[in-house]
Amino acid sequence: MIDSASLAFDIDGVFADTMTLFIDIAQEEYKIDNLRYEDISRYYLEECIDLNPEIIGEIITKILDGKHNAPLKPIDGSAQVLTRLGRSGRLLFVTARPYPGPIHDWILKTLHLDSESVEVIATGSFEAKADVLLEKNISFFVEDRLETCFALKEKGITPVLFRQPWNRKKHPFVEVGNWEELEAIIDFR
């Protein structure tokens, strides 16, 4: 069981369904209708989808800045579990986004929690996550990027891999396929 006080979360691909948003923006704003979630088999989109890198960059910028018409949705079950955790303690999100931008407001709105219950730290790089987590006395971190899990483990943080099409390689980590599985291993004391 994971002590809820020693647990933190990534945002994109764990809580926020960012890849579905990417596909929705590509369809609505760029008329690209041949992308499927399952096709995103690598974390770096340029490595797995046949799309102009400039368009990929534009869509990612729209996501980071919150300048898109399609709604960003939570991954199924995430809002319920995170709200439960937020009501009994402080929630910590650590993201490799370069700046929190509108994601902090989206989190508060999605979870219906007050701002004192939620902390969002944007590190600007995957490599910087471990130091932030250690500074915050976090022992467990839910992450969807497999390479980050290996880096966290090297620093003494236990990663919990959130299964996604882009992290389907052999690994030694605890893995969950959905929020129901994650909730089952959290001690909510």
Amino acid at 76: D
CATH number for domain 2-16+74-187, candidates 3.40.140.10, 3.40.50.970, 3.40.50.1000, 3.30.420.40: 3.40.50.1000
Which pLDDT tens digit goes with each residue over 71-83? 999 999 999 999 9
Average pLDDT of the chain is 96
Alpha-carbon span 108 to 22, nearest angstrom:
21
User: Is the pLDDT score of 58 beyond 90?
Assistant: yes
The alpha carbon of 156 is separated from its chain's Cα centroid by a whole number of angstroms, namely: 20
The mean per-residue pLDDT over the stretch 88-102 comes to: 94
Domain boundaries along the sequence of the chain: 2-16+74-187, 18-65
The alpha carbon of 80 is separated from its chain's Cα centroid by a whole number of angstroms, namely: 16
Residue 182 pLDDT level (bands cut at 50, 70, 90): very high
User: Is the pLDDT score of 189 beyond 80?
Assistant: no
The gap between the terminal CA atoms of the chain, to the nearest Å, is: 11
Cβ atoms of 174 and 185 closer than 8 Å: yes
Alpha-carbon span 107 to 184, nearest angstrom:
22
**Residue 88 confidence (pLDDT):** 87
Question: In a 3-state reduction of DSSP, which class is residue 3?
Answer: strand
Alpha-carbon span 167 to 50, nearest angstrom:
19
Cβ atoms of 151 and 157 closer than 8 Å: no
Does this model's pTM top 0.85? My answer is yes
Amino acid at 34: N
The mean per-residue pLDDT over the stretch 83-102 comes to: 94
Which pLDDT tens digit goes with each residue over 117-167? 999 999 999 999 999 999 999 999 999 999 999 999 999 999 999 999 999
- Tokens 């987590």 belong to which residue? 133
The mean per-residue pLDDT over the stretch 8-18 comes to: 98
